[in-house]
Structure 1
Amino acid sequence: MYYDLIAEVISLVKVYEEEANPGSQDIHLFLKWLNQRDQASGYSSPADPEWEGKAKGRSADSVINTSLVHLYRYAKLQAKAAIVGTEFSTPDEFIYLISLVSFGSMTKTALIKLNVHEKSPGIQIVNRLIHNGLVEQEALGTDKRNRMIRITSKGTEILNESMQNIRKATLNVTEPLSNDEKMDLIRLLTKLETFHELKAATKL
């Protein structure tokens, strides 16, 4: 539930009762008072943004899709710069290690799915990590096809040595945003990602 919003509405109702002295519990009078209060404080809804091609009919969906692709590429450039001089050959390798540190050991399939990779390139990433001694795999019971992947002490050490550069790279991507803007963006991106995760799951 929207507890913070409910608490704010209750506090506004108290102010309304003290300032307006309405004499009746009329929602329309309350909304009118609230609107006048916002106008007096200089609040106004932000105008819709402008973008290239808008006048010619380019949709908001097109702009969002293009921006997401561009931001992915900018983030990838920052990530590549962060691993220069390390044992990582691609940013995906340290992302896989961070996944294992954050969520613990998991099957190869789960690790690949978590990072939204197709099976073939995902297996290549895991195999490189195994070859370099950064992760290890262990069969689950008698089923040797289903293997658990876990980070090794070497993998943990290499990841820790690289974390300062990795954090700097992630900060560079979001640098112009305020903390409030970052929270708003996280909410929107989480909504999008959750939708597509559920949609992908229904196709399995």
Structure 2
Amino acid sequence: MYYKLIQELVDLVELYEQDDKKGQPDVTLFVQWAHKRLELSNDNNAVEPNWQGKELGRSPESVINTSLVHLYRYAKLLAKDAIAGSEFSTPDDFIYLICLVANGSLTKTALIKLNVHEKSAGMQIINRLIAHGLVEQETTETDKRNRMIHITQKGRAVLEERMDRIRAASSNVSEPLSHQEKMQLISLLSKLESFHEVKNGI
């Protein structure tokens, strides 16, 4: 009954033996190799989607760039609704606070870099948070010019009061995707981010 399957496995083992440069007859390595081969096969057989302007020569890179910009704008609109009536002036305000909660105290430079902002824009956000009493700064002993930023009790309280609405906004951005699709998207976006972080020295 399983003769055909066994024959396919034997054929796969023969191909693996040809590809295996290290000469390691290891089951785990073989399974990993077979899995990658299957992924490549699925990628090659995947149906290419249609997009506006494709027949006129619009490139996939153009579509990706446009979609990322549009999604950022949709996310920003949802985030603005989530912070309406709060002490947050912009979505960047609560994003900076979330970074401080997740990473602990950070220097101004590190906090701005983490959010991929230009220094001037990042400083405006930090100064606004300081003015509202949501964060405080402290001079470091090693570098008097670069100060550590801490979230205050007020900052934590204001953030916590809005977190349910912020989480709902985040969920709405990826609303139609299944769990598996979200995991695939995270993997692809992480690959893109990692590339640009290295390229830009972040």
Class of the TM-score when normalised by the shorter of the 2 chains: 0.7 to 0.9
- Which whole-Å CA distance do the structure 1 matches of 2:148 and 2:13 have between them? 61
Q: Which consecutive unaligned segments of at least 5 residues does structure 2 have?
A: 17-33, 39-43
Q: What's the CA shift string for 1:71-114, capped at 9, x where partnerless? A: 00000000001000100010000000000001110100000000
| Mapped pair 1:149 → 2:140 | no
Query: Residue 146 of structure 2: SS of its match in structure 1?
Result: strand
The equivalent of 1:199 in structure 2 is: 199
Seen in structure 2, the aligned counterparts of structure 1 residues 183 and 24 have a Cα distance that, compared at 3 Å, is: closer
Moved more, 153-162 or 20-29: 20-29
Counterpart residue type for residue 147 of structure 1: R
Query: Residue 26 of structure 1: SS of its match in structure 2?
Result: helix
- Which whole-Å CA distance do the structure 2 matches of 1:161 and 1:21 have between them? 59
The equivalent of 1:158 in structure 2 is: 158
The equivalent of 2:7 in structure 1 is: 22
- Which whole-Å CA distance do the structure 1 matches of 2:64 and 2:6 have between them? 46
Q: What's the CA shift string for 1:5-56, capped at 9, x where partnerless? A: xxxxxxxxxx96x55453994338889xx9xxx9xxxxx9431000011011
Q: What's the CA shift string for 1:116-174, capped at 9, x where partnerless? A: 00000100000000011100010001632111001000000000000011001011111
Seen in structure 2, the aligned counterparts of structure 1 residues 24 and 63 have a Cα distance that, compared at 3 Å, is: closer
- Which whole-Å CA distance do the structure 1 matches of 2:184 and 2:11 have between them? 33
In the TM superposition, 1:10-49 aligns within 5 A as 19-22=4-7, 25-27=10-12, 45-49=45-49
- Which whole-Å CA distance do the structure 2 matches of 1:90 and 1:59 have between them? 34
Aligned residues: 177
| Mapped pair 1:187 → 2:172 | no
Seen in structure 2, the aligned counterparts of structure 1 residues 77 and 30 have a Cα distance that, compared at 3 Å, is: same
The equivalent of 2:112 in structure 1 is: 112
Query: Residue 145 of structure 1: SS of its match in structure 2?
Result: coil
The equivalent of 1:171 in structure 2 is: 171
The equivalent of 1:78 in structure 2 is: 78
Query: Residue 137 of structure 1: SS of its match in structure 2?
Result: strand
Query: Residue 150 of structure 1: SS of its match in structure 2?
Result: strand
Moved more, 85-94 or 141-150: 141-150
Seen in structure 2, the aligned counterparts of structure 1 residues 20 and 177 have a Cα distance that, compared at 3 Å, is: closer
Seen in structure 2, the aligned counterparts of structure 1 residues 194 and 23 have a Cα distance that, compared at 3 Å, is: closer
The equivalent of 1:134 in structure 2 is: 134
Q: Which consecutive unaligned segments of at least 5 residues does structure 1 have?
A: 1-14, 39-43
Seen in structure 2, the aligned counterparts of structure 1 residues 21 and 58 have a Cα distance that, compared at 3 Å, is: closer
Counterpart residue type for residue 193 of structure 1: E
Seen in structure 2, the aligned counterparts of structure 1 residues 139 and 178 have a Cα distance that, compared at 3 Å, is: same
CA RMSD of aligned residues (A): 2.7
The equivalent of 1:69 in structure 2 is: 69
